[in-house]
Structure 1
Amino acid sequence: MLLLIPGPVQTRPEIRAAMAVDIAPWDNDFKAEYAAIREAVRELAGGVAGQHVCLPLQGAGHFITEAAVRTFVPQGHKLLVVMNGTYAERMARLAREAGREVVVLPVPDTRSVTPEEITQALAADPAIGHVGIVYSETGSGIINDIPAVGAAVRAAGRRMIVDAVSAFGALPFSLKDQPEVDAVVFTSNKCLEGLPGIAFAISPIERVTACAGQANSWSFDLADVYAVSLRAGPGSFRFTPPVQALHAFGKALEVYKAEGGRETRLARYRENARLLHEGAQALGLKPYLDWQHQGPIIVTIHQPGDPAFKLQDFVDALKRRGVLISNFYNTPVPTMRIGCIGDVHADDIRFALRAMSEALDELGIQRRNAA
């Protein structure tokens, strides 16, 4: 089965095989392996030893996003959330339910926020201390310009939290070049092509220590994660870790390096996205985004306006042909989400396009443009 979703992604056999072991999380061999993973991902984020730290947390991207908000945004303080997609909406909800005051900056989900919009929003409310932004919105497929936004945040003297869950490992990011960032957060099962179960925040150490005690949660306190690692060593976990997922993630990092790292992986994803964007149009379908705004992580396509079209029927028809896509959408109008990341290559996208053509024919879809 060819898995074309924006995560968990299709993985290589050797990464899946790495899960088939029993591991004691306190074993010294595993502790060394885990400490090496923390160091490796800190370096991937442009972190500097002694200045930045990798803070792992069991669970999904929502967990690490909430942990970052709780840890770095004091309760009752204002967080500006750039609202141009579903995952921004989720960040806002996580913040509100954590007792943080959210100010929204509405932006269409068809383009990046501009630095000027950030500057104006921060100037309008000096009480805003942090900006929360999603790097890659997998509802629509847009990419927010994180360096440009960060420069505006830095100029205004504010702090930033970056949800890079579906971006990290492919799109560029450097903590040492963006000192306004309190945390960049991501997971093991997106562009680094590992398996689900573990999430990471990379943060400046001085900010982590300055924010100790304000998370109002033991489980989601990243300052406590850091404090425990100081006491027990970088190979320690506070609670039972997903050891098999971490072991597989170590293998995924080896594969990532062997492929050529971030630039090579990004080039592969971009080619996947180009083929899918152009191929959808050749089938008479309309991509949700113009190519100039299209990111390399996921291509979103308008559902055909033909009254015979039903998304689940289309998903099932594709699955019978060996291709699996999402059976839901996150845009204001009906769309289809097709991922470009994971162990997916150009020939896989061509295969998927043939399957899409056959599925549309099987379902008798004549009117393929959006309603």
Structure 2
Amino acid sequence: MNDKKLYTPGPLNVSLSTKEAMLVDLGSRDLEFMDTVKYIRSKLLEIAGVSSDDFTSVPVQGSGTFAIEAVFTTSVPRTNGKVLVLENGAYGVRIGQILNALGIQTKTLKFLEDEKVDVKMVEKELMKDQSFTNVAMVHSETSSGVLNPIKEIGVLVEKHLPDASYLVDAMSSFGAIDIDMEGSNIDFLVSSANKCLEGVPGFSYAICRKERLRKCKGWSRSLVLDLVAQWEVLERTGQFRFTPPTHAMLAFRQALLEYEKEGGLSGRAQRYKENCQIIRDGMKSFGFKTLLDASHEGYIITSFYFPQHSNFDFQDFYSGLKEKGQVIYPGKVTKAACFRIGNIGHLFPRDMRHLLSCVKEVCRDMDITLPMDMKQDWI
């Protein structure tokens, strides 16, 4: 099988050296593996810009959604737990689904998919209802590309609900977009190995404020997703409670070394921003229109409307690109027919330019003349 270029929210392309790091078999109790886990946990705190005195990182087997559920099953009180969910996309919806499955009382504030969470509306809700024990939102809502104001919301949570825990889903932003955890009063931040840090799928992690995490002991509704128990065993033994994703963690160690070599967050962000600008400028020159306007500063993924051209069929467009080894993503918004092009993972400006050339060829094959008429109506 030949590798394809993945212009998606994940899984993502990774470097050859990251893949090669998995060609070693280690037991979960091997000192080398335990040192790897220790290094990863420490490095995540460094990237987050927080002190190990106040925060800890807890890896969890499974995708990012596993870590999000782990935070909720662990941090929401069993007796009076009530979560305020700020939702403006598919991943905010997923948070609600998790809470519903756990049987946790939830209030959801819904916002438009192409708009940021409204800070004033959130403050109004927090002032009206003081019973929330937890507040949760998505930072980079990759169903559309919206980047939400997590710091402004965190300040409000601290002001109006100082005893509530604040969760931020930073799945597709951590490591590439600066997040001020302390200034944002974030208690739990969740991300995954195979996102902006460019590891392979297999585990996710929660960066937790120790003070909040300690208070959750005995609350978990799950054995395997109990973050407190996971943390305590890691701290005491350096080992996972249950079989860890050894190969994925070896790959992640290599990915973190390459992250530092690239210049850490600033270097990774610079590459992703350049990737984003190339694809947006190129698609615009072809006549494609973005879902979000210029008021949005996110650079992780871009949603494009389906063009109103009689010859455009998304499945043909998608298949044509895939045949050329270029994989884009269908849209995940409900209000408009869109597709998405991501620019994170092991992708570089040359890859974005090559994708544009492939888009041009596929449009030609579909008998669509570029540039398309920018004055046409869009869905």
Q: If the length of structure 1 is used for normalisation, what is the TM-score?
A: 0.95
CA distance in 2, matches of 1:24, 1:63: 23
Q: Which residue of 2 aligns with 1:108?
A: 112
Deviations 1:101-151 (A, max 9, x none): 111111112122232222111112111222111000110001012111111
Q: Does 1:193 align with 2:201?
A: no
SS of equivalent to 1:309: coil
User: Could you tell me how far 1:344 is from its partner in structure 2?
Assistant: 1.2
- Check the 8 A contact 1:48/1:176 in 2, yes or no: no
Q: Does 1:163 align with 2:164?
A: no
CA distance in 1, matches of 2:84, 2:105: 9
Q: Which residue of 1 aligns with 2:60?
A: 57
User: Could you tell me how far 1:271 is from its partner in structure 2?
Assistant: 1.6
CA distance in 2, matches of 1:227, 1:193: 27
CA distance in 2, matches of 1:364, 1:125: 56
Q: Which residue of 1 aligns with 2:252?
A: 249
SS of equivalent to 2:205: strand
Structure 1: state its 5+ residue gaps. Answer: none
SS of equivalent to 1:128: coil
Aligned-partner residue type, residue 168 of structure 1: F
User: Could you tell me how far 1:310 is from its partner in structure 2?
Assistant: 2.5
Q: Which residue of 1 aligns with 2:218?
A: 213
SS of equivalent to 2:85: strand
SS of equivalent to 1:276: helix
Which one of 136, 151, 157 corresponds to residue 153 of structure 1?
A: 157
Runs of 4+ aligned residues of structure 1 deviating over 6 Å after TM superposition are none
User: Could you tell me how far 1:322 is from its partner in structure 2?
Assistant: 2.5
User: Could you tell me how far 1:328 is from its partner in structure 2?
Assistant: 5.2
SS of equivalent to 1:166: coil
CA distance in 2, matches of 1:163, 1:59: 15
Structure 2: state its 5+ residue gaps. Answer: none
Which one of 94, 101, 108 corresponds to residue 98 of structure 2?
A: 94
Q: Which residue of 2 aligns with 1:176?
A: 182
Which one of 79, 82, 88 corresponds to residue 86 of structure 2?
A: 82
- Check the 8 A contact 1:47/1:202 in 2, yes or no: no
**Farther-moved stretch of structure 1 (38-47 vs 133-142):** 38-47
Deviations 1:199-251 (A, max 9, x none): 0001111211110111210111101111212332xx21011111000000000
Aligned-partner residue type, residue 140 of structure 1: S
CA distance in 1, matches of 2:26, 2:180: 33
User: Could you tell me how far 1:307 is from its partner in structure 2?
Assistant: 4.3
CA distance in 2, matches of 1:257, 1:298: 23
Identical aligned residues as a percent: 34
- Check the 8 A contact 1:110/1:293 in 2, yes or no: no
CA distance in 2, matches of 1:16, 1:330: 33
Q: Does 1:349 align with 2:352?
A: yes
Aligned-partner residue type, residue 148 of structure 1: E
Which one of 47, 50, 54 corresponds to residue 50 of structure 2?
A: 47
CA distance in 2, matches of 1:360, 1:77: 52
CA distance in 2, matches of 1:124, 1:36: 44
Summarize the alignment of residues 1-371 of structure 1 with structure 2, pairs less than 5 Å apart: 1-75=4-78, 76-156=80-160, 157=162, 158-178=164-184, 180-232=185-237, 235-327=238-330, 329-365=332-368, 370-371=378-379
Aligned-partner residue type, residue 47 of structure 1: V
- Check the 8 A contact 1:72/1:182 in 2, yes or no: no
Q: How well do the aligned residues superpose, as a CA RMSD in angstroms?
A: 1.6
**Farther-moved stretch of structure 1 (72-81 vs 85-94):** 72-81
- Check the 8 A contact 2:165/2:212 in 1, yes or no: no
CA distance in 2, matches of 1:308, 1:125: 52
Residues 354, 243 of structure 1: CA spacing in aligned structure 2 closer, same or farther, 3 A cutoff? same
Aligned-partner residue type, residue 232 of structure 2: A
Deviations 1:66-88 (A, max 9, x none): 11111111235221111101000
Aligned length: 368
CA distance in 1, matches of 2:319, 2:74: 42
Residues 31, 314 of structure 1: CA spacing in aligned structure 2 closer, same or farther, 3 A cutoff? same
